[in-house]
Amino acid sequence: MDIRFDLFENELATRFAKRFAGAALVIQDSPLPKATQELVSLRASQINGCGHCVDMHVKEAAAAGESAVRLHLVAAWRESTVFTEAEQAALALAEEGTRLADTSHGVSDETWALVRKHYDDDQTAALVTLVALINAANRLAVITRRKGGSYEAGMFATALKS
């Protein structure tokens, strides 16, 4: 399948993308650990079947020094021993925040309590907005059929400078 519509070649979509990227920068520059940001983005992208975003976040995390073992185990984080309690709370929030329609309560009180146990207000704000932002990015890529495989670490940062 070819890409349906290249959002990067449309003036309106390009204007939107610049603002979207600005929101991403706020999160990137937040006190939420970078590893947590990539793990959360990767998990939501896996759930949403977004090959482009899975490709991006695996490569960005690896370039930042994330281990292959942890990256391979993100999809099975509950059955793994390589994630901290704080990362597990963030991954649970990512899953529940991505699968809102699967339950009547959205994010459970138990998950929320774990998030608040491990993250301060600014980190929580970054985490909540990251879950929303990566889900929006996943939808943009999946709807337009943007495929994974061609992303190179650093491409997002380079695109922000232009």
The pLDDT value recorded for residue 162 is 57
The SS3 of residue 55 is: helix
The pLDDT value recorded for residue 1 is 65
Contacts of residue 55, defined as CB under 8 A and 6 or more positions apart, other chains included, come to 148, 149, 150, 151
pLDDT in tens, 63-121: 999 999 999 999 999 999 999 999 999 999 999 999 999 988 899 999 999 999 999 99
Residue 28 corresponds to which amino acid? Q
DSSP state of 49: T
pTM: 0.94
At residue 159 the predicted structure's pLDDT band, cuts being 50, 70 and 90, is: low
The pLDDT value recorded for residue 155 is 79
- Rounded average pLDDT over 122-142: 97
The pLDDT value recorded for residue 131 is 98
Whether residue 15 is predicted with pLDDT greater than 60 in this model: the reply is: yes
Exposed/middle/buried for residue 34 (C-beta within 10 Å: 0-12, 13-18, 19+): middle
Token pair for 55: 């490709």
Provide, rounded to the nearest whole percent, the portion of the chain with pLDDT above 70: 96
Q: How many helices (H) and strands (E) does the chain have?
A: 8, 0
- Rounded average pLDDT over 12-17: 92
b/e map 38-50, b = 16+ CB within 10 Å? bbbbbbbbbebeb
The pLDDT value recorded for residue 127 is 98
Give CA–CA dist 162/160, Å, rounded. 6
| Residue 105, φ and ψ in degrees, nearest 5 | -110, 0
